[in-house]
Structure 1
């Protein structure tokens, strides 16, 4: 029961990290483009499947497409995304200069990070609720003693507290990353 509980909560942490990777900080990060889809020969594919993504400078992303004829399509996909970035190309590679973040934009990003963190906490808590419900059903259906039920619920709570603390730590780290100029 507890291995399953921990594995579900760990998946919430992985999802949190994945979602936070797409939120921009002051530095360029290739994972910013993870959710950008490119219409590549008739199918929508992730940016990482159309070329090599690199970070040659702290505020620049570079995409070296495997097929140079797709540069215009790649640029269009970046412009269409909600990232607010403007790509430029020289016919060989696509470069994206990340503008300096303003103080207001940093605050907005911190709010976005906190919202994502809150969603992760809600997910962890709902997993806890399901585990506690399972314990209560065991009391009713299988005749589990009341004190054993309390012990199991306390253990579920300790596991939940551990993962909530991990979410807080991840959020705090991301906020520091965003606010660092």
Structure 2
């Protein structure tokens, strides 16, 4: 296993954690809240963002304007059934989602969810490290590399792991600040 591959996999772990954080609601309207919403469009589950223009006209509203007006009720139904937790209001051409202010209890819950996502990200990075170190040990055992080279590679892998775990922790700190800022 090459170090560049290991680094690439760890970077993907950080990006995955960032995407998970984007689905957590903060006090402000954010179109990425709707990233996971799938609409049953002509019998096929379709991502909402490919069926409509999603915008945030102000800090507490998300506006969804479908490209095809006939899909308005389907989009409204999909949002109602999703785990977004927002009630859509339909005016015949645009669906609006009003983002209510978060209570302190809800903020604490969202911080816990963010911490859970961060821990999942860290675990995936540690798993990548474990696999890489196992690979280095196998190479050492089969005499492809020397003991010193193996130790150097393991040190580099550990430094890389520390760097990417620090990135995840920074993302978590930023997200917690976002959630707790009123």
The answer, yes or no, to whether TM exceeds 0.5 is yes
2:180 counterpart of 1:179 = yes
Matched, 1:21 2:22: yes
**1:40 and 2:41 equivalent?**
yes
5 Å matches for 1:125-140?
125-140=126-141
- Deviation of 1:142 after TM superposition, in Å, equals 2.2
2:99: which partner in 1?
98
Aligned counterparts of 2:115 and 2:34: Cα–Cα separation in 1: 21
Query: Which portions of structure 1, spanning 4 or more consecutive aligned residues, are displaced by more than 3 angstroms?
Result: none
Deviations 1:38-90 (A, max 9, x none): 01121110110111000001010000011112111111101100111000011
Runs of at least 5 residues in structure 2 that lack an aligned partner in the other structure = none
Question: Structure 2: how far apart are the matches of 1:66 and 1:138?
Answer: 55
2:116, 2:13 → 1: CA distance? 14
What's the secondary structure of 1:130's corresponding residue? helix
Count of equivalent residues? 181
- Deviation at residue 145 of structure 1 after TM alignment: 2.1
Alpha-carbon deviation of 1:101?
0.5
CA distance in 2, matches of 1:164, 1:177: 20
1:86 aligns with 2:77: no
CA RMSD of aligned residues (A): 0.8
CA distance in 2, matches of 1:128, 1:143: 20
* DSSP 3-state at the match of 1:142: coil
Counterpart of 1:117?
A: 118
Superposed displacement of residue 149, structure 1: 1.4
TM-score norm. by structure 1 comes to 0.98
Unmatched 5+ residue regions in structure 1? none
For 2:100, what is the secondary structure of its paired residue?
Answer: coil
Corresponding residue number in structure 2 for 1:168:
169
Give 2:157's aligned residue.
Answer: 156
- What TM-score does the superposition give when structure 2 sets the normalisation length? 0.97
CA offsets 1:8-57 (integer angstroms, 9 cap, x no match): 00110111111111110110100100000001121110110111000001
